[in-house]
Structure 1
Amino acid sequence: MELKVGDTIPHFKAKDTNGNDFDSQNIVGHKPLVIYFYPKDNTPGCTTQACSFRDQYEDFKDLGAEVIGISSDSVTSHQKFAKHYKLPFILLSDSDKKIKKLFGVPSGLFGLLPGRVTYVTDKNGVIQLIFDSMWATKHIAKALEAVNKLVS
């Protein structure tokens, strides 16, 4: 089942960058969210995307939004990735791919690569934008534009 615009983000749990338990109920429904799924830590496109979100993170925070990156990498991989690139936002480890399945994130490039999809929700957890593109750099502007529309 693939989530669509107008759907509410489903409940999920995962380990965050620090190995702590993350429960979506603590954040979904409280503020606008940018949840982005990406293929792999420390790969060229994913690093570019993460650093672009990092560079614009204060713009998202100023609008009251939180950014969450999700991939199937381990907590240890996320820790190294976040530390090396000074990523200020939450990274979640979806090693069993349950969250990816819950959202219905499609695979990219003929099913060979994990998908790269960004979801933007309003403060009630309702999806306002789904942006599915392997072009890593395009996600940030689309997400920021969507969050801007939510709060203006």
Structure 2
Amino acid sequence: MADWIEEGTQAPAFTLATDSGEKIKLSDFRGSPIVLYFYPKDDTPGCTKEACAFRDRKADWTQLGVTVFGISPDSVESHAKFRDKYDLNFPLLVDTDHKIAEKYGAWREKNMYGKKSMGIQRSTFLIDAAGKVAKVWKRVSVDGHDAKVLEALQGLQ
């Protein structure tokens, strides 16, 4: 289990499939800030609330020149259904083997009702235009999280 990636370090590179099946590389977005948020599972209550909050701030992200990506271990098909059901306006990335979550430190041991398992720890990484991690939110609480991310982004400007 990797440690959390530190603020100020280079964001780990990746190439992943999106909810539409196309492959994207993190490096393709160099030159503008990125919000990369890890979430456990498509179409579950907390994950839906978080995705819809990011969706509803589209005008803010556009104004700041930011690209938002959601990332989870779900499949392209699952992401596409989730995207369509909630009219999500940003790409969802497929990390079925959780290798990228591990690189960022978002793949962690979880303890639910005394049962330990490995899974995604809800977390968000703000990556600046130079590809460095500018801010890390660990163990994210969904309520108001989008506003905290927006505030941090405005601080980058």
Coarse TM-score class (shorter-chain normalised): over 0.9
Residue 12 of structure 1 corresponds to 14
Q: Does 1:53 align with 2:54?
A: yes
Residue 138 of structure 1 corresponds to 144
| Rounded Cα–Cα distance in structure 1 between residues aligned with 2:72 and 2:105 | 14
Identity %: 38
Classify the secondary structure of the residue corresponding to 2:120. Answer: coil
Q: Deviations over 1:76-129 (max 9, x none)?
A: 000000011010001101001111011111436435442100001211111111
| Rounded Cα–Cα distance in structure 1 between residues aligned with 2:125 and 2:24 | 18
The structure with the largest alpha-carbon Rg is 2
Q: Does 1:129 align with 2:131?
A: no
Q: Does 1:3 align with 2:9?
A: no
Given that 2:16 and 2:93 are in contact with CA atoms closer than 8 Å, whether structure 1 keeps it comes out as yes
Query: Where does 1:104-119 land on structure 2 (aligned, <5 Å)?
Result: 104-107=105-108, 109-110=110-111, 112=117, 113-119=119-125
Deviating beyond 6 angstroms after TM superposition, the runs of 4 or more aligned structure 1 residues are none
Residue 22 of structure 1 corresponds to 24
Superposition CA RMSD, Å:
1.4
Give, in angstroms, the shift of residue 58 of structure 1: 1.5
Give, in angstroms, the shift of residue 139 of structure 1: 2.3
Q: Deviations over 1:116-151 (max 9, x none)?
A: 000012111111110112422232111111111011
Runs of 5+ unmatched residues, structure 2: none
Q: Considering fraction of residues, name the structure with more strand.
A: 2
| Rounded Cα–Cα distance in structure 2 between residues aligned with 1:117 and 1:46 | 11
Name the aligned partner's letter for residue 6 of structure 2.
Answer: K
Under a length normalisation based on structure 1, what TM-score does the superposition of the two structures give?
0.92
Name the aligned partner's letter for residue 146 of structure 2.
Answer: I
Under a length normalisation based on structure 2, what TM-score does the superposition of the two structures give?
0.90
Residue 63 of structure 1 corresponds to 64
Classify the secondary structure of the residue corresponding to 2:57. Answer: helix
Given that 1:33 and 1:123 are in contact with CA atoms closer than 8 Å, whether structure 2 keeps it comes out as yes
| Rounded Cα–Cα distance in structure 2 between residues aligned with 1:53 and 1:43 | 15
Residue 126 of structure 2 corresponds to 120
| Rounded Cα–Cα distance in structure 2 between residues aligned with 1:122 and 1:130 | 12
